[in-house]
C-alpha cells in the first residue's frame, strides 16, 4: 500500500466505526420496533437471515 492510502484508511475507519455503523444499527432496530408494534410477526431469524 502507498502511504496516501494508509492515511485515507486511518481517517475513514473512525468515521465508519463512530458514525456509519451506529446509524445503521439505529435504523435497523427502529424499523424492527415499528414492524413489531404494527403486529408483524418478525423474529431473530428474519433479522439474521438463513444460517447454513
Flag whether pLDDT at 22 surpasses 70: yes
Which position has the grid cell 418478525? 42
Flag whether pLDDT at 5 surpasses 60: yes
Calpha distance 17→11 (Å, rounded)? 11
pTM of the full structure: 0.63
Calpha distance 13→20 (Å, rounded)? 10
Calpha distance 13→51 (Å, rounded)? 28
Amino acid at each position: 500500500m502507498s502511504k496516501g492510502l494508509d492515511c485515507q484508511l486511518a481517517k475513514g475507519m473512525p468515521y465508519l466505526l463512530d458514525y456509519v455503523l451506529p446509524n445503521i444499527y439505529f435504523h435497523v432496530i427502529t424499523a424492527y420496533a415499528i414492524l413489531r408494534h404494527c403486529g408483524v410477526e418478525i423474529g431473530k431469524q428474519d433479522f439474521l437471515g438463513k444460517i447454513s
